[in-house]
A and B are shown apart, each in its own frame.
Chain A
Amino acid sequence: NAGVTQTPKFQVLKTGQSMTLQCAQDMNHNSMYWYRQDPGMGLRLIYYSASEGTTDKGEVPNGYNVSRLNKREFSLRLESAAPSQTSVYFCASRDLTGVQETQYFGPGTRLLVL
Protein backbone atom coordinates (compact mmCIF):
# COMPACT_ATOMS: atom_id res chain seq x y z
CA ASN A 1 0.00 0.00 0.00
CA ALA A 2 1.99 2.98 -1.30
CA GLY A 3 -0.53 5.64 -0.21
CA VAL A 4 -0.20 8.82 -2.30
CA THR A 5 2.60 8.96 -4.85
CA GLN A 6 3.78 11.90 -6.95
CA THR A 7 6.05 12.22 -9.97
CA PRO A 8 8.44 13.80 -10.60
CA LYS A 9 10.12 14.59 -7.28
CA PHE A 10 12.00 17.56 -8.71
CA GLN A 11 11.74 19.52 -11.95
CA VAL A 12 13.40 22.56 -13.47
CA LEU A 13 11.54 24.41 -16.22
CA LYS A 14 12.22 27.47 -18.31
CA THR A 15 9.60 30.21 -18.46
CA GLY A 16 6.93 29.29 -20.99
CA GLN A 17 7.50 25.54 -20.88
CA SER A 18 4.67 23.19 -20.00
CA MET A 19 4.58 20.13 -17.80
CA THR A 20 2.20 17.80 -15.99
CA LEU A 21 2.58 16.73 -12.39
CA GLN A 22 1.24 13.27 -11.74
CA CYS A 23 -0.49 12.02 -8.60
CA ALA A 24 -1.91 8.60 -7.78
CA GLN A 25 -3.44 7.01 -4.69
CA ASP A 26 -4.17 3.39 -3.93
CA MET A 27 -6.48 3.90 -0.93
CA ASN A 28 -9.70 4.00 -2.98
CA HIS A 29 -10.35 7.58 -1.84
CA ASN A 30 -13.00 9.67 -3.55
CA SER A 31 -11.52 13.13 -3.01
CA MET A 32 -8.17 14.38 -4.26
CA TYR A 33 -6.45 17.76 -3.90
CA TRP A 34 -3.56 19.79 -5.29
CA TYR A 35 -1.78 22.33 -3.08
CA ARG A 36 1.21 24.58 -3.45
CA GLN A 37 3.48 25.53 -0.58
CA ASP A 38 5.70 28.58 -0.73
CA PRO A 39 8.41 29.40 1.83
CA GLY A 40 6.97 30.77 5.06
CA MET A 41 3.43 30.13 3.92
CA GLY A 42 0.88 27.49 4.50
CA LEU A 43 -0.60 25.20 1.92
CA ARG A 44 -2.82 26.87 -0.63
CA LEU A 45 -5.42 24.85 -2.48
CA ILE A 46 -5.12 24.99 -6.27
CA TYR A 47 -7.82 22.55 -7.38
CA TYR A 48 -9.71 19.67 -5.88
CA SER A 49 -11.79 16.77 -7.12
CA ALA A 50 -14.61 15.55 -4.91
CA SER A 51 -15.09 12.44 -7.00
CA GLU A 52 -14.17 10.92 -10.32
CA GLY A 53 -15.38 13.17 -13.10
CA THR A 54 -15.59 16.40 -11.08
CA THR A 55 -13.04 19.15 -10.50
CA ASP A 56 -13.38 22.51 -8.76
CA LYS A 57 -11.18 25.55 -8.28
CA GLY A 58 -9.51 26.26 -5.00
CA GLU A 59 -7.88 29.43 -3.72
CA VAL A 60 -5.17 29.85 -6.40
CA PRO A 61 -6.24 28.15 -9.68
CA ASN A 62 -4.88 30.66 -12.20
CA GLY A 63 -2.21 29.22 -14.47
CA TYR A 64 -3.14 25.61 -13.76
CA ASN A 65 -5.42 22.94 -15.15
CA VAL A 66 -6.30 19.55 -13.71
CA SER A 67 -7.61 16.21 -14.88
CA ARG A 68 -9.19 13.52 -12.76
CA LEU A 69 -8.26 10.67 -15.06
CA ASN A 70 -9.92 7.98 -12.94
CA LYS A 71 -10.50 7.36 -9.27
CA ARG A 72 -6.79 6.78 -8.63
CA GLU A 73 -5.16 9.58 -10.62
CA PHE A 74 -5.33 13.36 -10.48
CA SER A 75 -2.89 15.36 -12.60
CA LEU A 76 -1.92 19.04 -12.50
CA ARG A 77 -0.82 20.81 -15.66
CA LEU A 78 1.12 24.01 -16.12
CA GLU A 79 0.54 25.16 -19.70
CA SER A 80 3.05 28.03 -19.70
CA ALA A 81 5.22 28.03 -16.61
CA ALA A 82 6.11 31.31 -14.89
CA PRO A 83 8.73 32.02 -12.19
CA SER A 84 5.85 32.76 -9.78
CA GLN A 85 4.94 29.07 -10.02
CA THR A 86 8.21 28.04 -8.39
CA SER A 87 6.97 26.13 -5.37
CA VAL A 88 6.56 22.75 -3.74
CA TYR A 89 3.42 21.00 -4.94
CA PHE A 90 1.59 18.49 -2.79
CA CYS A 91 -1.16 16.14 -3.84
CA ALA A 92 -3.51 14.75 -1.21
CA SER A 93 -6.42 12.35 -1.02
CA ARG A 94 -9.20 11.80 1.45
CA ASP A 95 -12.05 9.37 2.02
CA LEU A 96 -15.28 11.11 2.94
CA THR A 97 -17.47 8.05 2.93
CA GLY A 98 -16.13 6.48 6.10
CA VAL A 99 -15.52 7.60 9.66
CA GLN A 100 -11.89 8.48 9.03
CA GLU A 101 -11.53 11.97 7.55
CA THR A 102 -7.76 12.12 7.40
CA GLN A 103 -6.23 13.82 4.40
CA TYR A 104 -3.11 11.96 3.25
CA PHE A 105 -0.37 13.85 1.45
CA GLY A 106 2.07 12.73 -1.19
CA PRO A 107 5.83 13.38 -0.84
CA GLY A 108 5.70 16.56 -2.92
CA THR A 109 7.19 17.83 -6.19
CA ARG A 110 9.74 20.65 -6.05
CA LEU A 111 9.36 22.85 -9.12
CA LEU A 112 11.81 25.55 -10.11
CA VAL A 113 10.88 27.86 -12.99
CA LEU A 114 13.75 29.90 -14.39
Chain B
Amino acid sequence: GENVEQHPSTLSVQEGDSAVIKCTYSDSASNYFPWYKQELGKRPQLIIDIRSNVGEKKDQRIAVTLNKTAKHFSLHITETQPEDSAVYFCAASSWALRGQNFVFGPGTRLSVLP
Protein backbone atom coordinates (compact mmCIF):
# COMPACT_ATOMS: atom_id res chain seq x y z
CA GLY B 1 0.00 0.00 0.00
CA GLU B 2 0.87 3.66 -0.09
CA ASN B 3 3.42 5.08 2.35
CA VAL B 4 3.90 8.82 2.86
CA GLU B 5 6.93 10.27 4.61
CA GLN B 6 7.18 13.90 5.69
CA HIS B 7 10.16 16.05 6.72
CA PRO B 8 11.01 17.82 8.89
CA SER B 9 8.89 16.84 11.87
CA THR B 10 9.40 20.28 13.42
CA LEU B 11 10.41 23.57 11.82
CA SER B 12 11.05 26.96 13.36
CA VAL B 13 11.46 30.07 11.23
CA GLN B 14 11.64 33.79 11.84
CA GLU B 15 8.65 35.85 10.82
CA GLY B 16 9.05 36.90 7.20
CA ASP B 17 11.27 33.97 6.25
CA SER B 18 10.19 31.08 4.01
CA ALA B 19 9.30 27.58 5.14
CA VAL B 20 9.55 24.39 3.08
CA ILE B 21 8.06 21.02 3.99
CA LYS B 22 8.76 17.93 1.91
CA CYS B 23 6.83 14.70 1.42
CA THR B 24 7.61 11.52 -0.46
CA TYR B 25 5.17 8.81 -1.51
CA SER B 26 5.60 5.25 -2.67
CA ASP B 27 2.62 4.41 -4.89
CA SER B 28 3.05 5.63 -8.47
CA ALA B 29 -0.74 5.36 -8.88
CA SER B 30 -1.31 8.25 -6.47
CA ASN B 31 -2.77 11.15 -8.40
CA TYR B 32 -3.95 13.77 -5.91
CA PHE B 33 -1.87 15.48 -3.23
CA PRO B 34 -3.54 17.81 -0.71
CA TRP B 35 -1.94 19.77 2.11
CA TYR B 36 -3.78 20.43 5.35
CA LYS B 37 -3.22 22.88 8.18
CA GLN B 38 -4.32 21.92 11.67
CA GLU B 39 -4.32 24.38 14.54
CA LEU B 40 -4.30 23.11 18.11
CA GLY B 41 -7.59 21.45 19.00
CA LYS B 42 -9.10 22.15 15.59
CA ARG B 43 -9.98 20.10 12.55
CA PRO B 44 -7.61 19.79 9.56
CA GLN B 45 -8.34 22.31 6.83
CA LEU B 46 -7.21 22.14 3.23
CA ILE B 47 -4.80 24.91 2.26
CA ILE B 48 -3.71 23.80 -1.20
CA ASP B 49 -3.76 20.72 -3.40
CA ILE B 50 -2.26 19.50 -6.64
CA ARG B 51 -3.14 16.84 -9.17
CA SER B 52 -0.59 14.55 -10.78
CA ASN B 53 -0.92 16.23 -14.17
CA VAL B 54 0.34 19.56 -12.77
CA GLY B 55 3.89 20.35 -11.66
CA GLU B 56 3.26 23.45 -9.57
CA LYS B 57 0.39 25.40 -8.06
CA LYS B 58 0.41 28.69 -6.21
CA ASP B 59 -2.10 30.52 -4.04
CA GLN B 60 -0.82 33.83 -2.68
CA ARG B 61 1.95 32.99 -0.15
CA ILE B 62 1.53 29.23 -0.51
CA ALA B 63 2.81 27.00 -3.31
CA VAL B 64 3.08 23.29 -3.90
CA THR B 65 5.45 21.53 -6.30
CA LEU B 66 5.22 17.95 -7.49
CA ASN B 67 7.92 15.73 -8.98
CA LYS B 68 6.19 12.56 -10.18
CA THR B 69 9.39 10.90 -11.32
CA ALA B 70 10.99 11.22 -7.91
CA LYS B 71 7.66 10.73 -6.13
CA HIS B 72 7.95 13.78 -3.95
CA PHE B 73 6.02 17.00 -3.41
CA SER B 74 6.72 20.06 -1.32
CA LEU B 75 4.86 22.88 0.40
CA HIS B 76 6.39 26.35 0.23
CA ILE B 77 5.21 29.19 2.47
CA THR B 78 6.73 32.60 1.83
CA GLU B 79 6.71 35.67 4.08
CA THR B 80 5.67 33.59 7.06
CA GLN B 81 3.47 35.14 9.75
CA PRO B 82 2.81 34.06 13.35
CA GLU B 83 -0.66 32.83 12.33
CA ASP B 84 1.04 30.29 10.04
CA SER B 85 2.13 28.42 13.18
CA ALA B 86 0.33 25.04 13.12
CA VAL B 87 0.82 21.41 12.19
CA TYR B 88 0.87 20.75 8.46
CA PHE B 89 -0.01 17.40 6.93
CA CYS B 90 0.55 16.17 3.41
CA ALA B 91 -1.46 13.34 1.90
CA ALA B 92 -1.43 11.15 -1.17
CA SER B 93 -4.55 9.75 -2.73
CA SER B 94 -5.20 7.11 -5.33
CA TRP B 95 -8.16 5.21 -6.60
CA ALA B 96 -8.72 1.99 -4.69
CA LEU B 97 -11.09 -0.76 -5.80
CA ARG B 98 -13.96 1.54 -4.89
CA GLY B 99 -13.61 5.19 -4.14
CA GLN B 100 -10.47 7.08 -3.34
CA ASN B 101 -8.10 6.20 -0.52
CA PHE B 102 -6.04 8.75 1.43
CA VAL B 103 -2.74 8.24 3.24
CA PHE B 104 -1.41 11.09 5.39
CA GLY B 105 2.12 11.97 6.37
CA PRO B 106 2.95 12.22 10.11
CA GLY B 107 2.87 16.02 10.12
CA THR B 108 5.25 18.97 10.52
CA ARG B 109 4.93 21.34 13.45
CA LEU B 110 5.75 24.82 12.13
CA SER B 111 6.56 27.60 14.57
CA VAL B 112 6.90 31.15 13.26
CA LEU B 113 8.84 33.25 15.72
CA PRO B 114 8.01 36.98 15.90
Contacts and interface: CB of A to CB of B under 8 A. Distances in A.
Contact of A103 (B34, B97, B98, B106): B34
Contact of B102 (A49, A103, A108): A103
Interface residues of A, number: 27
Interface in A92-114: 94, 96, 101-103, 105-108
A79 interface: no
A71 interface: no
B25 interface: no
B104 A48 contact: no
B49 A56 contact: no
Contacts of A48: 99, 101
A50 B46 contact: no
Interface residues of B, number: 25
Contacts of B104: 35, 42-44
B99 A108 contact: no
Q: Choose among A43, A49, A50, A90 the residue with the greatest number of B CB atoms under 10 Å from its CB.
A: A43
A33 B46 contact: no
A99 B25 CA distance: 24
A50 B103 contact: no
B73 interface: no
A2 interface: no
15 contacts: A31-B99, A41-B107, A42-B6, A42-B104, A42-B105, A43-B104, A48-B101, A51-B98, A51-B99, A54-B99, A90-B43, A96-B100, A102-B34, A102-B49, A107-B43
